[in-house]
Chain A
Amino acid sequence: MSLVSGPGRGGASAGGHVPDELKLVVEKHVEYIQSLDTRQDELEYWLTEHLRLNGVYWGLTALHLLGHPDALSRLATIDFILSCQHENGGFGAAPGHDAHMLYTVSAVQILGTVDALEELDRRGKAGTEKVGKYIADLQNQETGSFAGDQWGETDTRFLYGALNALSLLHMLRLVNVSKAVTHIQACANFDGGYGVSPGAESHAGQIFTCVAALAIAGRLDLVDKDRLGGWLSERQVPNGGLNGRPEKVEDVCYSWWVGSSLAMIDRLHWINGDKLAQFILRCQDPDKGGIADRPGDMVDVFHTHFGIAGLSLIGFPGLIAVDPIYCMPREVTKRLLGKLNT
């Protein structure tokens, strides 16, 4: 899956005029995502190789939410994912790239989505137990936080990723969940939000990771819901889009980070869903498919995915329901988690 941006541009054909009734161009988006891996004649295809596995997760999940789960070859997807695995259980962004938490989580999510987790034991370079162990070993026993890889960068993104993947694998027992929860609490701020690490400023993306991690740990009771909901609702700007921090510019991807966080704390109605949907739809390229960060910018699969996930979250007609905790189709997480975790 290529991370090449373009060729289209959000709102390209609107010619400055935005029609009142914007449609989600489902077929175009499907074609756009399908075409991504055919763009090897572009330099950017190669420059974005370090995001390839994430790209597959974004493209595949978007296709599932669009109701086209078979638009990518299941077998080719599994083959590619397995080709990124290392013997220690971790996954890199592409074959030959170092193992890292971010790609390991995406790999588990993708295999889960295409119902192929058992392929890890069947033909992975390492089986499920080793994948779980790779993730679990990145936990800092003292603080409960997680590193991204052996070089030690620590970020609440990795903590969330670990709980996400381990819960999907039913292997949360491998880590100290309560210490992880304590670490998240240490990242909380007076505004109800959470940062990258203790002391860091609240940021909608980190809020998503912290709130979702608490949701997986079953500790949403620790969230100051009204205060956080208030801060998050102020992310919506007059054009309907959402930003990630006060006084920053809006961006389609925050439709997800902000929206899912609000959904998890039962306050999605604190923003205007209709206006958000209109904003996301204005970021589409109605001719070539794909969604950009803002109207007029180049589309890419990252924003395409988070735009569609945002629309699904607010119940946009025709889309498959997304799970706000996992950012995967709800029916997939239901199947994977079974009754125990729901």
Chain B
Amino acid sequence: MASHGVPRVQPATDRDQKKEQQKIKDYKGLVDSVNDGIRGCQCTTKTLELTSKLLKWNPEYYTIWNHRRLILKHQFEHPDSQVTNAVAGPDHETVMNTISDELAFLIPLLRKFPKCYWIWNYRLWLLKDSTRLLSVLEARKFWQQELALVGKMLSLDSRNFHGWGYRRTVVSALEGIALQAEGSVTSMTEIEFEYTTKMINLNLSNFSAWHNRSKLIPILLDERGADHLARRNFLDEELELIERALWAGSEDQSLWFYHQYLMCTFDPKYAAESMAPDLTTTERSTYVREQILKVRDMLDGAEDCKWIYQSLISLSILYRDLGNESIEKEVAIEDHIAELINLDPLRAGRSSNLLLDPSLLIMTTCKSVAVAGMPTYLPIRNFLLQIPLLKTSSPILTRLLIDKSGLFPTFIVVKRNPFEAKEAARMEFLLELQPDGDGADVNTEDIDYFSTQALVEVRGVFRNFRFCDRFINYVYDDGFIHVIQMLGRYTDLTDGSIEILGGQGHTTQKAWGQWRTGPPMISLSSPSTWALDLDGVQPRLHGVEFQRMKIELGSREIEQER
């Protein structure tokens, strides 16, 4: 494989150069002799030894492992060849010894190159051959030894991907019918489950071990024939284990992922395959409520731990989806999301998506830009908008009601603003469409917000939009045009159909005017970054006729095509 983590080397001197050339000569000579041996069908001890030498030098040379297999195959099928001393016929002892020698040959290689796929593959091939060629007892002995070996390797590198995968393969072979003494079937689930406990106790941050645990539990409970009560007890023990672990390491993502796994038990979407599929909705709600309270307690002294907020958000959503009122009215999910965005800016795009209807386009960050020529009132229709306003004493999330026929939108206040920046002089409001609103419920208090609208910037959601190219794309909606740079996947317009695949980008133009008559005019202002999520948008677009706009960046000219 390529050079992972290779530090820089010193420049070569003349002497090094000479050495290097000699090495190249030796290496190429060795490769040639091995290949000659194979081409000449010389499946001999000598060729085998040459492959050993070459593979010790370069275990990534997969063709040479194949050569080695061919030699062994030949040896097993023709035991009278010069490789072995056997006289005639398949000889268990010869096969045993050969496989044993081969496995031993690989140990130092695995130690030196633990991430080399080809060595592991070759080893498995040998073991499978042992199953094929030897008696159950003989083969089983080899596979048993492997379990010890892989245990040793995992104690040296407890996250080795190949190691864990190899362990599962060995276990499944040992459990497999081919390695069973007559009539008996050995399940190793209990032992393997204990092994994950052991590995977790050694190091809580071992996601590999937690993962394996998640795979073993359903099998374990089935094998135990666990009833509802036994499953609940088991679940309670797992919850206790993860809670203790989380108290010790609330920043450890391995633990939170396992916690998420346990929470699947209470989520109707996942429960069927969980360890306790038959919990009632009431039981689930009780568990989730308990979890919310416990996780919230973890905030004490760890107020800046984003994982806690993340967990609280998903638990609160789950609790709500199970048909419950929020536990605490004063702490809205949105507040946790706002805190999460604050603590974890790298994933702000994801957190923002938690806030809003995923079927809408959402911008996630915003730079407030004062735009000259802004119309007094915005003909906003069918949008979710996040707009920056001058800070007032009322930190409120605002719901926007639209007079569908008219041009004079009004707002009503519905929720606290989740985007409030603590120190900022201004704040941002999330305005949400109320699609069936008719403007009747006007809250006069909110008219005040209109007075600041010179700073209004549409950042949000568009229903009518189309993308014309990778970099310049347009959103046209009821008088608003946004020119968007798509960074993700984009549409294919070749056959006139529209395929919108989502992505992220930024808006480079966002002011508008003359929306009442004729096509909108664009004026340029500084870019802002946004992201969008187009899930569910696509179906709505089919059958919609779009007006095709062509906008020349910089020249402010607009062409209209049909």
The answer to whether B3 and A46 have CB atoms under 8 Å apart is: no
The answer to whether A5 and B257 have CB atoms under 8 Å apart is: no
Distance (whole angstroms) from the CB of A139 to the closest CB of chain B? 18
The answer to whether A314 and B347 have CB atoms under 8 Å apart is: no
Q: Which residues of A contact B5 (CB under 8 A)?
A: 249, 293-294, 297
The answer to whether A263 and B489 have CB atoms under 8 Å apart is: yes
The answer to whether A43 and B165 have CB atoms under 8 Å apart is: no
The answer to whether A267 and B159 have CB atoms under 8 Å apart is: no
A287 within 8 A of B: no
Q: Which residues of A contact B261 (CB under 8 A)?
A: 190-191
Distance (whole angstroms) from the CB of B151 to the closest CB of chain A? 17
Q: Which residues of A contact B529 (CB under 8 A)?
A: 274
B1 within 8 A of A: yes
The answer to whether A43 and B253 have CB atoms under 8 Å apart is: no
Q: Mark A301-324, 1 if CB is under 8 A from B, else 0.
A: 111000000000011000001001
Shortest 7 CB-CB contacts between residues of A and residues of B: A269-B531, A266-B502, A315-B487, A302-B2, A269-B504, A5-B3, A269-B349
B8 within 8 A of A: yes
Query: In the complex the two chains form, what is the Cα distance from A142 to B414 in whole Å?
Result: 57
- Grouping DSSP codes into helix (H, G, I), strand (E, B) and loop, the A interface class, with mixed when no group exceeds half, is loop
Distance (whole angstroms) from the CB of A296 to the closest CB of chain B? 7
B260 within 8 A of A: yes
The answer to whether B503 and A50 have CB atoms under 8 Å apart is: no
Residue of B61, B252, B260, B349 near A271 (CB, 8 A) is: B349
Q: Which residues of A contact B145 (CB under 8 A)?
A: none
Distance (whole angstroms) from the CB of A311 to the closest CB of chain B? 11
The answer to whether A92 and B63 have CB atoms under 8 Å apart is: yes
Query: In the complex the two chains form, what is the Cα distance from A271 to B345 in whole Å?
Result: 9
The answer to whether A273 and B487 have CB atoms under 8 Å apart is: yes
List the one stretch of B22-30, B182-190, B375-383 in contact with chain A: B22-30
Q: Which residues of A contact B57 (CB under 8 A)?
A: 47
B207 within 8 A of A: yes
Chain B, range 137-168, C-beta contacts under 8 Å to A: 159, 161, 164-165, 168
Chain A, range 90-114, C-beta contacts under 8 Å to B: 92-93, 96-98, 100
Query: In the complex the two chains form, what is the Cα distance from A268 to B353 in whole Å?
Result: 12
Q: Which residues of A contact B353 (CB under 8 A)?
A: 267, 270
Specify the chain A residue showing the minimal Cβ separation from B354. A226
A218 within 8 A of B: no
Count of A-B contacts with CB under 8 A?
206
Specify the chain B residue showing the minimal Cβ separation from A102. B62
Distance (whole angstroms) from the CB of A21 to the closest CB of chain B? 16
Residue of A46, A98, A302, A334 near B63 (CB, 8 A) is: A98
The answer to whether A266 and B489 have CB atoms under 8 Å apart is: yes
Residue of A152, A189, A275, A298 near B8 (CB, 8 A) is: A298
B237 within 8 A of A: no
Query: In the complex the two chains form, what is the Cα distance from A149 to B122 in whole Å?
Result: 13
The answer to whether A266 and B63 have CB atoms under 8 Å apart is: no
Distance (whole angstroms) from the CB of B5 to the closest CB of chain A? 6
The answer to whether A298 and B534 have CB atoms under 8 Å apart is: no
Per the CB 8 Å criterion, the residue count for chain A at the interface is 80
A230 within 8 A of B: yes
A201-B207 in contact given A191-B260, A238-B346, A314-B487 (Cβ < 8 Å) = yes
The answer to whether A301 and B2 have CB atoms under 8 Å apart is: yes
Q: Mark A216-258, 1 if CB is under 8 A from B, else 0.
A: 0000000001000111011010101000011111010100000
The answer to whether B66 and A200 have CB atoms under 8 Å apart is: no
B205 within 8 A of A: yes
The answer to whether A268 and B20 have CB atoms under 8 Å apart is: no
- 22 A-B contacts (beta carbon < 8 Å): A6-B3, A41-B20, A41-B24, A46-B31, A50-B63, A51-B1, A151-B66, A151-B121, A195-B165, A197-B165, A199-B168, A201-B212, A203-B161, A246-B253, A247-B159, A266-B502, A269-B504, A269-B533, A293-B3, A296-B8, A298-B8, A321-B470
A268-B503 in contact given A200-B165, A297-B7 (Cβ < 8 Å) = yes
Specify the chain B residue showing the minimal Cβ separation from A49. B61
Query: In the complex the two chains form, what is the Cα distance from A49 to B501 in whole Å?
Result: 39
Q: Mark A280-297, 1 if CB is under 8 A from B, else 0.
A: 000000000000111011
Distance (whole angstroms) from the CB of B199 to the closest CB of chain A? 13
Most A C-beta atoms less than 10 A away, residue of B66, B254, B487, B499: B487
Query: In the complex the two chains form, what is the Cα distance from A33 to B345 in whole Å?
Result: 36
A266-B168 in contact given A191-B257, A201-B161, A246-B207 (Cβ < 8 Å) = no
A342 within 8 A of B: yes
Q: Which residues of A contact B6 (CB under 8 A)?
A: 5, 297-298
Query: In the complex the two chains form, what is the Cα distance from A100 to B207 in whole Å?
Result: 32
Q: Which residues of B contact A17 (CB under 8 A)?
A: none
Q: Which residues of B contact A213 (CB under 8 A)?
A: none
Specify the chain B residue showing the minimal Cβ separation from A231. B257
Distance (whole angstroms) from the CB of B300 to the closest CB of chain A? 24
Residue of A202, A297, A324 near B489 (CB, 8 A) is: A324
Residue of B2, B28, B207, B533 near A267 (CB, 8 A) is: B533
Q: Which residues of A contact B240 (CB under 8 A)?
A: none
Distance (whole angstroms) from the CB of A194 to the closest CB of chain B? 12
